[in-house]
Chain A
């Protein structure tokens, strides 16, 4: 069964740090891009980062650049999001999602498998 399971969310004070994990199963993890997307309470989806299969290509949204770091461990079938200098506006459900390419070009064209999400609350 193809599955992604996030963990590591919780309550953290402004300025604090948190590390999210996303473990995959049911597919060859090392073949795919992986993404993190978040959704603030009552708001829409915001893509925040992706990492390619080898870990050599990484992009961030401007809203998290310099504060968040994405990484992956293909031996553990897992992708991570290290979040530093957290702000109240980072409060959201964080989803990991598998990226796929339309035409075999090894690009991140769509998000076909999503985890259930993990809640991060930044508050004093």
Chain B
């Protein structure tokens, strides 16, 4: 199975900060990588698919990059509604990373 490792597991940031979250796959997954946002008590929401394609309705401050084994989710200017937990997921065997909680 392909393992997904996210870092950091949590981070503290302020409104307006640029935030970067990393996801590393144990084997190459080309660009078969998704990012989700989850708020407490809610279902996850798809942010980015195919490593860098923004899902419809998602603000442009979210972006994704990477291919092969190393991927990045960037929030260019953190907004109050962005405080949440973020997960990466690979599409080969569907596994999720452990999550990154973005806290104030």
A residues neighboring B (CB under 8 Å):
35, 44-47, 50, 59, 61-62, 95, 102, 107-112, 114-117
Cα(A59)–Cα(B46), bound, Å: 21
Asked if B94 is at the interface (CB within 8 A of a chain A CB), the reply is: yes
Cα(A29)–Cα(B49), bound, Å: 21
Interface magnitude class on chain B: 20 to 34
- Beyond A47-B94, A114-B43, 15 additional contacts (C-beta under 8 Å) are A44-B87, A45-B89, A45-B99, A46-B96, A50-B94, A62-B1, A95-B43, A102-B91, A107-B91, A108-B91, A109-B49, A110-B34, A112-B46, A114-B45, A115-B43
Asked if B62 is at the interface (CB within 8 A of a chain A CB), the reply is: no
Cα(A62)–Cα(B1), bound, Å: 10
Which residues on the A side are within 8 Å of B89 (C-beta)?
A: 45, 47, 110-111
| A-B contact number at CB 8 A | 57
A-B contact pairs, 8 of them (CB 8 A): A45-B38, A47-B89, A47-B96, A50-B94, A109-B91, A110-B34, A110-B89, A112-B55
Chain B interface mostly helix, strand, loop or mixed?
loop
A45 and B96 contact, CB distance less than 8 A: yes
* Chain A proximity of B35: nearest CB distance (Å): 10
The answer to whether A116 and B43 touch (CB under 8 A), given A44-B96, A110-B91, is yes
Asked if B16 is at the interface (CB within 8 A of a chain A CB), the reply is: no
Which residue in A45, A61, A108, A109 is a CB contact (below 8 Å) of B44?
Answer: A45
Which residue in A44, A61, A102, A117 is a CB contact (below 8 Å) of B43?
Answer: A117
A110 and B95 contact, CB distance less than 8 A: no
Give the one of A45, A47, A110 with max B CB within 10 A: A110
Which residues on the A side are within 8 Å of B45 (C-beta)?
A: 114
A117's closest neighbor in chain B, by CB? B43
- Which residues in chain B, 43-57, are within 8 Å of chain A measured between CB atoms? 43-46, 49-50, 53, 55
- Digitize B72-102: 1 where CB-to-A-CB distance is under 8 Å, 0 elsewhere: 0000000000000001010100111111000
Cα(A47)–Cα(B44), bound, Å: 12
